[in-house]
Each structure stands twice: as structure tokens, then as C-alpha cells.
Amino acid sequence: QVQLVESGGGLVQAGGSLRLSCAASGRTFSAYVMGWFRQAPGKEREFVAAISRGGGSPYYADSVKGRFTISRDNAKNTVALEMNSLKPEDTAVYYCAARKEGVTTLPSEYKYWGQGTQVTVSS
């Protein structure tokens, strides 16, 4: 089992940057595929990015490709999401999630979730 805690959200102007971090408990962090998702008011939770157990082969939603970067540090049990060139449409609650199986973009396939951190991008 793993517990996840996100941090780093906030209010930023369009074009700005934020770095989200997710800290995981437990000694087997490297056994989990990690993902970032987001949910805007009135919308379904959507995939943002995911990274494999070893940190290679990151996956991105088309809407964030080239602007966001996912990374992980297995020694520190953390996964980060660097967000650049932020747009108002990036406004949402951002969640990190974990699963033991392979990388997938489906929220329903992730077993463990953090509580979320709010990102608001003003125009």
C-alpha cells in the first residue's frame, strides 16, 4: 500500500510556471507506475502524464505535451510535475496516483490517490 500527498499548487498568471510534487510513503515506491491527473469543475478527471517504474518512457496528454514534464526520484519517493507556459484551461485540481501494473491513461485503473492540489491560472 502507498499513501500519496501532493504539494506545490497555487495561483499563477498565464504563461507562468509551477512545480507540483507528490510524496509517497512506503518502501516500495519504485514498484509503482505513477500518474498525474486533473479535474476541473464540472468535468471528468483526465489524464495529464505518467511515468514508468524506472523513470523512463514518460507519457503525456496531447494538451500538455511540450509544456509539462513528469519526473520521479525513487530514492526520495517523490514524483514531480513541472508545468510551464500555463494556460487558463490548465486550471484544475491536480492529483497524483499510483498503480502496480503497467502505464495507463485511465483514472479508473489507478488504485492509490492523493488528496489533490489546486492549480489556478489567471488570464
Q: What's the rounded mean pLDDT across residues 106-115?
A: 97
Q: How much of the chain exceeds pLDDT 90, in percent? A: 95
Query: How far from 74 is each of 3, 24, 66, 113, CA to CA, in Å?
Result: 15, 10, 24, 18
Does residue 26 surpass a pLDDT of 90? no
* Residue 106 near residue 61, CB atoms below 8 Å: no
Residue at grid coordinates 476541473: 40
Mean pLDDT throughout 76-86? 98
Mean pLDDT value across residues 33-41: 97
pLDDT of residue 79: 98
Place of cell 485503473: 109
For residue 98, pLDDT beyond 80: yes
Q: So what's the pLDDT on residue 58?
A: 96
65-68: list long-range contacts, CB under 8 Å, 24+ apart.
none
